[in-house]
Structures are given as C-alpha cells and as structure tokens.
Amino acid sequence: MLKILKRYSVVGVLIILCFFSAFIALCNGLLSTVQASKLIQKENQYAYGNELQATIRTAKAISPKTLLKLMNSVNTCNIYLENMEIYFDQIDSVYRPDIILQQNEIFSLPTTKDVSDLPAGFLIASTSNADGQDELSIHGKTFSIFDKMDAEEFPFITGTFVINAADYFEVFPEALSDKKEITLRIASSENDVYSAYSQIQKNMQKLLPEAKIYNSDIVSTNSVFQSILSQENLISLGLFLFALINAIIISYYWVVVRRREIAIRKAFGASNFSVISLMAGELLKLIGLSAALALAVQVLVWTVQGNNIGIQGSIFMIVILLLSITIAVIVAMIVPVRYILKIQPSEGVKL
C-alpha cells in the first residue's frame, strides 16, 4: 500500500479522498436503513394481522346511540371509528384518536398492561403527550390514564390515544351531527374481519335499512424495503455514483501515464490478464483503504453518539461495504481494461 502511494501519490490520494467521502455518506445511509428497518419491524410486530375499512353512507346523520347499537352482537374483531378529532384541555394540539366502538381482542399496541377491556373513564396514551401525568382533561371531563406507551422506544405511536366510543360521545355528543358518511376500521389478529363486517351489515338492515355500506382492504404492514428510499440513502447513492465517475476518470489518467510501464511489462512476457489484475489489485487496495478509514471514523462517531446497530446490522453494513468496494473496482477498471488491451509491447521502446 505504501509503495503504491509513494509511486502514484497524486492518483492514490485522489482515489482515497474521492471514495472516503462516498463511503462516509454510504455508512450514514446504511445506519439510517438499519434504524428504519428496525422501526418498521417493530411497527409490523404491533400491527393487526388483518384490517378492513368500512364506509357507511346515509341520507341523514347517524346518532351516536344508533352507531353503538350497530355494534351489538359483533363479537369478533376490534371496531374503530375513524377520522374523528379530539383535543385535551392541557395539551395544545388536536389529535385523531383510536376510538374503539367494539373491543373483542387485546389492542395491537405496545402497551405494558393486558388491555382486554378498556374501562369507561379511562384512556391509553403515549408518553410523548402524557409523560408524568396520571389524568387528562377532555373538554372539561377528566379521564384517568389506564396505560402509557413508550413513544421513545416506539416512535410510530407518538401522539396516539385510545378512548372508548361511549366516553368520546359523552364529551362530544354532537360529533356525528353533520356527518352522512362514517368510516369504520375493522381490525383483528385472530379472527376473520369479513365476518364482523357481515354482522354489521345485518345490523344495518334492521336499524338503517336506507343506509349503504362499502368495504376496502387495508394494507396494515410496512415493508422493510421502504427504509432504503430514505433521504440519507439517496444522498449517499449520489455521492457514491459521483465517486465512481471520478474513479473512471482518474483510472483512465492512471493507465495513460503508465502506458510505457505496461508496454514494457508486456514486452517481458506479461499477459493482458496479469497487467489488468495488477491494476485492479492496486485500485482494490486504495478503495479498500478508503472504506476502512470511513468505517473507522463512523464507528468512532456512532460510539460517541451512542448508536447501537447490533450484530445483524453490523453484518448487513459490512456486506454492503464489501459489495460497494467490488462494484467500485469493477466500474473503475472498465476504461483501463479497454486501454490496456490496445497497448502493444513495442510501444515500450518507442515511448
């Protein structure tokens, strides 16, 4: 390595600097990918297995009492009322809570308690809004906090609140007065959501024969591949491509200034393959050094920041870095290979 840098100091330093910045960006992009994939896996872990959206359309607004009656005899799945707003007296913001119309299963949320039935007068909140509080006031009515979810460990539940529909309508009795379309979410990890939908449909025929109900599936899980399309990854990919373009230019310059050396090697019996292998090996060492330096710097930064990616994340990052080094060497050798093949042994005497 030192011999290469001594003989080709300008080219060697340029290649190292070029790829050092690219690998720094790549390491940051990979860190964001690992962290995002961990979060998505956690979110999928606490997602319902099946979800169905049901839309009820009526000629006139449904009363809260009628809506609650519609849920009678629906003894499977959890039924939520969607798109309803709520505000707390001591929290300066408006939220759309999970309003539970019918609970037949444990909530698919990172709660610390076994919430098989949320009691009246209680709600579930995330620590992002209710940390340090045991009660919350909604429009003058006080609710006790049944359980708090850790928003720091599970950021996807930030701002989440779960409240019973009966409690919600007690606080907001006119919530449905101007709505002729109501959206329900039927969710379950244990039962068939369509059976619950059919039961609601049967209840509607008795209570609201003029109303119509429609359904559509909900994709409730996120793919870990979504984490690849992050801003950090797009930036790191752009820098890596920029480094590859520069490497092609630098390697072309490198082989041009070494033309006589290559011709002399061929004159002494070196094959095209051996010359190409020699240059590829030198590029591999320089690009590998760039990757090693970038990784060492990033590990130091991550240690100071307290980032922990775990064994699985470390293996993923090392594999991607090795793959990136391989791609960089192959791409950087595209132009030099074509140039080396054209150099004749006799040129070593002429030059």
Give per-residue pLDDT as tens, 256-267. Answer: 777 888 888 888
Contact 33, 236 (CB under 8 A): no
**Please, which pLDDT band fits residue 244 given cuts at 50, 70 and 90?**
confident
Q: Give the pLDDT confidence of 82-125 residue by residue, as tens digits.
A: 999 988 887 878 889 999 999 999 998 988 888 888 999 999 99
**pLDDT the model gives residue 222:** 46
Q: How many Cβ atoms sit within 10 Å of the Cβ of residue 218?
A: 15
The letter for the amino acid at 151 is: A
Put simply, whether the predicted model's pTM sits higher than 0.75 gets the answer no
Q: Take residue 326 and report the two structure tokens written for it.
A: 């391989």
Backbone dihedral angles phi then psi of residue 51, each to the nearest 5 degrees: -140, 145
**CA pair distance 260, 343, nearest whole angstrom:** 9
Q: How many Cβ atoms sit within 10 Å of the Cβ of residue 273?
A: 9
Burial of 319 (0-12, 13-18, 19+ CB in 10 A): exposed
**CA pair distance 15, 34, nearest whole angstrom:** 28
Burial of 125 (0-12, 13-18, 19+ CB in 10 A): buried
Q: How many Cβ atoms sit within 10 Å of the Cβ of residue 206?
A: 9
**pLDDT the model gives residue 226:** 46
Whether the predicted pLDDT of 227 surpasses 70: no
Q: How many Cβ atoms sit within 10 Å of the Cβ of residue 68?
A: 14
Give the Cα-Cα-Cα angle 53, 71, 108 (nearest 5 degrees).
Answer: 55
Q: Take residue 159 and report the two structure tokens written for it.
A: 């701002």
* Average pLDDT value over all residues in the chain: 81
Mean pLDDT of 38-58: 84
Burial of 251 (0-12, 13-18, 19+ CB in 10 A): buried
Maximum Cα interatomic distance, the chain, rounded to a whole number of Å? 101
Residue among 3, 8, 77 at smallest CA distance from 254: 8
Cα-Cα-Cα-Cα dihedral sign, residues 156, 55, 178, 122: negative
Q: Which residues of 34-55 are buried (b: 16+ CB within 10 A; e: fewer)?
A: bbbbbbbebbeebbbebbbbbe
**Please, which pLDDT band fits residue 224 given cuts at 50, 70 and 90?**
very low
**pLDDT the model gives residue 254:** 74
The contacts of residue 64 (CB under 8 Å, 6+ apart) are 165, 169, 173, 175, 176
**pLDDT the model gives residue 348:** 60
Q: Which residues of 2-33 are buried (b: 16+ CB within 10 A; e: fewer)?
A: eebbeebeebbebbbebbbbbbbbbbbbbbbb
Burial of 114 (0-12, 13-18, 19+ CB in 10 A): exposed
Backbone dihedral angles phi then psi of residue 9, each to the nearest 5 degrees: -60, -45
Residue among 153, 176, 336, 175 at smallest CA distance from 254: 336
Backbone dihedral angles phi then psi of residue 166, each to the nearest 5 degrees: -60, -40
**Please, which pLDDT band fits residue 216 given cuts at 50, 70 and 90?**
confident
Whether the predicted pLDDT of 38 surpasses 60: yes
When comparing pLDDT for 228 and 32, which is higher?
A: 32
When comparing pLDDT for 151 and 236, which is higher?
A: 151
